[in-house]
Structure 1
């Protein structure tokens, strides 16, 4: 069955912008979330609520990638040369930046042994030189399989895509701690991981659904999942006396429902933004990947140099304030890096 590409890409632009901000909110609040038992409970719960609200960020990024790319027919060499290089080159640059920051922050050290220094750098590149770069390692894997999976998606019927997605969801459920004992010995790894979000994004963006009450139902599902994730995380954390993130897991049923409901809601929700906000959204969208790569450095420096973090005011104010400030500075930083002659557009992201 042939699927058309998603129409009206305004909603995808809106969703990308929101997801980018959500990632920064997530990383701003995560520091407070880790302080369970060391900060007042009301402050910790604020971080819990913010975390629950924005857990859709990375899954929605992957779904957008699927929506925009899986309907295309790729020539393999061209795809690997152009698309993959646009991910890998900035990633390597920013990985070295974070290695440099770790050295500056005395988290790692170099000596006069060139080979030992090289091994340390390679070790950092292998496992990730900053906490948020796991996303890029995952994304590279998805891009490697995208020319293959896109051929399946373009040839598949809706029934076949649903078959794939249902098995993906079933395998995901069986991977959860509370259900893993029921997992059979059948080899199911072929249906695991973020590839399901890739296909889900394509499926939801190209499939027409009956719209009566759909937006209201999706909004209720989203809010319901926020509540379930928030309360569930609090209860299991209280039970274990330490932060427990089982409800936060992106490859878990709660975040799938959270992400899918928001994706469909935006698809069918017309948002008439003022011209100024459209310009801000589109300008930011040009540098979204670079902002993702660089925002962690800005969060570090805002806290280190200016004491701007969740501790600035009450967390309900300081978390979104810090995130917005970080996003603005990150966009300007990536824009300036892109202006560097010869290398800017390759390294900035």
Structure 2
């Protein structure tokens, strides 16, 4: 484990970069998917294909956080001051960008108040920051649970089965006997499942790869992502509108794709001469996550009218590049990263 927990993790940088790019792909694809009957069928199908393979993005972020925070002997962030520090590192940028997006929405005539951020995200992608604040606030409890899990293989099996049953299949199957009172389970606890799984996969990664070939893991990713793609086609064509059930992050198809690609990314080795580039992109991912929707809305006009097969990757790449350049410039301003992320 020690050789994986150095000050810089190439695999972690790769995971962050891959995940943020896929987040952008999802958001670029959305305009095609919401217009099921108003666009050419091929554009909808390609948007669905891109989106289906990009659904691993958010689970990767949760698993990466768990892998890095749960597998060290001592986590400085476990102290009260450390936890509050982690929370403020997210909360301050969240407040800043919420204000920016409120102003952005007001500019386009949307009636929204600044207090909106107190009870829900002002922009749809900001929900992730709220979820991470909750996870950081409960980190000592999660860490304690994680350590106890590792002492008992049967407990690992039990909790994984519980997570699978409660969260990953409930979107497809109604299991009344498990929820007779109709309780609405908060998805944030499902995301904590990804957080813990990230730690477990890193800890037992070598044992997993010793038993399962990498090609098998790759096939699981491909099959799971294709399942998302095909299920979305089937559900949408029957309803004559886009049905996003298979896109949900807490579904078995997305979970299997995310778990498999996470293991594969961890084992990717890139020439160390690229480490500086990877580090530069990786350390700006948080800022990119916040700003990319503003950039995307402008970049989309450049490639407007192109087929989705071409427009989605081009818009996603240029959005990432411009967001990165802005992030690098802002980072040079003293104290700015504290506010902007």
- TM-score, normalized by the shorter chain, greater than 0.5: yes
Q: Which residue is 2:203 aligned to?
A: 206
Q: SS where residue 209 of structure 1 aligns?
A: helix
Match of 1:81 among 70, 78, 84: 84
C-alpha separation between the residues in 1 aligned to 2:147 and 2:302? 48
1:69–1:132 Cα change, 3 Å = same
* 2:290 is the counterpart of 1:293: yes
C-alpha separation between the residues in 2 aligned to 1:106 and 1:139? 30
1:5–1:102 Cα change, 3 Å = farther
CA contact (8 A) 1:174 1:180 kept: no
CA contact (8 A) 2:66 2:196 kept: yes
> What does the per-residue CA deviation read over 1:133-152, in whole Å, with 9 as the maximum and x for residues that have no partner?
11111111111111211122
How many residues are paired up? Answer: 330
1:47–1:339 Cα change, 3 Å = same
TM-score normalised to structure 2 length:
0.89
> What does the per-residue CA deviation read over 1:251-284, in whole Å, with 9 as the maximum and x for residues that have no partner?
111110010010112223x3324734x3322101
Which 10-residue stretch deviates more, 73-82 or 316-325?
A: 73-82
Q: SS where residue 201 of structure 2 aligns?
A: helix
Give the CA deviation at 1:33: 1.1
Q: Which residue is 1:127 aligned to?
A: 120
Which 10-residue stretch deviates more, 293-302 or 188-197?
A: 188-197
Q: SS where residue 15 of structure 2 aligns?
A: helix
Which 10-residue stretch deviates more, 3-12 or 125-134?
A: 3-12
1:69–1:105 Cα change, 3 Å = same
C-alpha separation between the residues in 1 aligned to 2:126 and 2:236? 26
Consecutive unaligned residues of structure 1, counting only runs of 5 or more, are: 110-119
1:86–1:238 Cα change, 3 Å = same
Q: Give the aligned CA root-mean-square deviation in angstroms.
A: 2.3
* 2:134 is the counterpart of 1:141: yes
Which 10-residue stretch deviates more, 329-338 or 22-31?
A: 329-338
CA contact (8 A) 1:17 1:284 kept: yes
CA contact (8 A) 2:169 2:251 kept: no
Which 10-residue stretch deviates more, 195-204 or 79-88?
A: 79-88
TM-score normalised to structure 1 length:
0.87
1:180–1:95 Cα change, 3 Å = same
- Equivalences for residues 196-235 of structure 1 within 5 A: 196-207=193-204, 208-211=207-210, 213-235=212-234
Give the CA deviation at 1:297: 1.0
* 2:162 is the counterpart of 1:162: no
Q: Which residue is 1:113 aligned to?
A: none
C-alpha separation between the residues in 2 aligned to 1:274 and 1:205? 21
> What does the per-residue CA deviation read over 1:132-171, in whole Å, with 9 as the maximum and x for residues that have no partner?
1111111111111112111221243251333322211121
Which 10-residue stretch deviates more, 49-58 or 204-213?
A: 204-213
CA contact (8 A) 1:233 1:247 kept: yes
1:223–1:136 Cα change, 3 Å = same
CA contact (8 A) 2:70 2:143 kept: yes
Q: SS where residue 216 of structure 1 aligns?
A: helix
Consecutive unaligned residues of structure 2, counting only runs of 5 or more, are: none
CA contact (8 A) 1:165 1:199 kept: no
